[in-house]
Amino acid sequence: MDKKIAELSIFFPFWNEEKNIEKVVDSAIRVAKKSAQDWEIIMVDDGSSDDTLKIATSIAGKDSNLKVVAHKINRGYGASLRSGFEAAKYNLVVFTDGDGQFDFSQVSRFFPKIKNSDIVIGYRQKRHDHPIRHILMNLLKIWDFVFFGFVFRDIDCGFKMFKKQALERITPLRSEGAMITTEILAKAKKEKLKISQVNVSHYPRIYGDQSGGNLRVILRAIKESFILWKDLNYGRS
């Protein structure tokens, strides 16, 4: 990247990522310094039961560009994204999952796309996670096409970039769980926002556990999906 962008808000949702958080944030700091004149990194701790929040607070104390948003209890992936969006102050906002499965330096692939788009969403060239999650992703594609009328290569990829104005048009967001990505894309479609896609690398998780295939998470997503469909078609009650 030859020329720095003016400003960039970066955030990561963390839940029990004490072994990943320092590496993830350190990588983002290096990229942010090279990519933007003004930048911030927001660490969203979703009620972790390990030392994630303690480590995040310690890291933030060393750099004024870093800040922490903490949930007192574990609320869910959607709640973490909502908190990150609300805390972001700059005109360009990007997030990746805090589990170390993405290379944040690949944010450089998003910058050319966002110039003529409202939202840029990543798609994983090759997924490195449990086969059940591949099945769930394909089921989600079918579900979202039937209920919301859109198709993207990788709906739940945890690497997305937004113009602040685009976020303002789709907020407030309601989902607390995994259905947040569907809500974002469904509301963006309704607002006729331009969405571009870009390929990103995906790496195996080294530390920690995934929760996306958890039955409780799936049932919550189904419930939130019906609520979203009702909101979009009949207005929020």
CA 105, 153, 124, 172 torsion-angle sign: positive
- Model pTM above 0.75: yes
CA-CA distances (angstroms) from residue 85 to 5, 12, 54, 93, 208?
19, 10, 22, 8, 25
φ, ψ for residue 118, nearest 5 deg? -95, -35
Cα 164 from Cα 237, distance rounded (Å) = 27
Q: Encode pLDDT of 30-47 as tens digits.
A: 999 999 999 999 999 999
Crossing angle of the two packed helices 180-190 and 131-148, in degrees rounded to 10: 30
- 29 within 8 A of 220, measured Cβ to Cβ: no
Domains within the chain, CATH numbers bracketed: 5-234 (3.90.550.10)
How are strands ordered across the β-sheet holding 119-124? 66-71, 36-46, 5-14, 92-96, 159-163, 119-124, 195-200
* Burial tier of 232 (Cβ tally within 10 Å: 0-12, 13-18, 19+): middle
Determine the average pLDDT of the residues in 172-200: 95
* CB-CB contact of 193 with 120 (8 Å): no
Render pLDDT for 65-104 as a digit per residue (tens, 0 to 9).
Answer: 999 999 999 999 999 999 999 999 999 999 999 999 999 9
